[in-house]
Homo-oligomer: A and B are copies of this chain.
């Protein structure tokens, strides 16, 4: 934990940014909730415990900054809010997500899986891939059996 904070501090200062107390509090909240996919509002509420005087705009600015420096990733699950998660250290690419259409839970797929497909796409479409986003929408193991007509669930929920 401390190592990672220190590392982020270095990443910031490498671009002439400082790890202010507000930024540090925000980073710590993100680190402490690494498995979740927090929205700016979520982060704001959690950060307030550590630093009650912080403003929502500061949280937004910090998240934007961390995102610019590619320390965190922005995610969009189509629910109208941007979510944030730490970029896996050293990982070339982003991992993937499983979104349950029944309960809304988001699980992670930590394998890349797309390697061969990317090679094919780069060749066929003459497109240089830098990043990707892959999300599967369906029924998670917890909801299996509870859902009678899965197709009905898709509707306008998926984006």
Q: Which A residues form the contact surface with B (CB < 8 A)? A: 64, 67-70, 73-76, 78, 82, 98, 100-101, 107, 109, 113-114, 117-118, 120-121, 125-141, 144, 150-151, 153-156, 158-159
Contacts and interface: CB of A to CB of B under 8 A. Distances in A.
14 contacts: A76-B76, A76-B78, A98-B127, A107-B125, A126-B140, A126-B144, A127-B140, A128-B138, A130-B137, A130-B153, A130-B154, A131-B136, A131-B137, A133-B159
Given A129-B136, A130-B101, A130-B139, A156 B113 contact: no
Contacts of A151: 130
Chain copies in the assembled complex: 2
Contact of A126 (B129, B141, B154, B158): B141
B136 A127 contact: yes
* A118, A127, A131 interface centre (most CB from chain B within 10 Å): A127
A131 B137 CA distance: 5
